[in-house]
Amino acid sequence: MARPKPAMPSKAAILALADADGRLAVRVSPGASADTIALPTSGGTLAVRTIAPPEAGKANEAVLRLLAKRLIGLYPRWSWFAVPPAGIN
């Protein structure tokens, strides 16, 4: 039997971790068994796990796509983005 997918944090919970300039501190774990985003247990860094391998920027691209999908509902065609201080509506 397959394991259930872990619940993704809400957009508001992720945005609450952004600094005044809209930047998120992220710890990336490439080569994971599933793509997931986990909130920190006591402040700190957002944990993002991706199945992408840590080679040629594949994991970085996967993390950007995963965050963009969760925050704005789209897969980006660009290589980086910043969360505006007012958040995303």
- pLDDT 10s digits, 9-41: 888 888 888 888 888 888 999 999 999 999 988
Residue 75's identity, in one-letter code, is: Y
Residue 78 pLDDT exceeds 70: no
Q: What is the largest CA-CA distance in the chain?
A: 44
What are the sequence ranges of the domains in the chain?
Answer: 26-78
- Selected residue with higher pLDDT from 17 and 83: 17
Two tokens, residue 55: 């080679």
How far apart are the C-alpha atoms of 61 and 77, rounded to whole Å?
Answer: 10
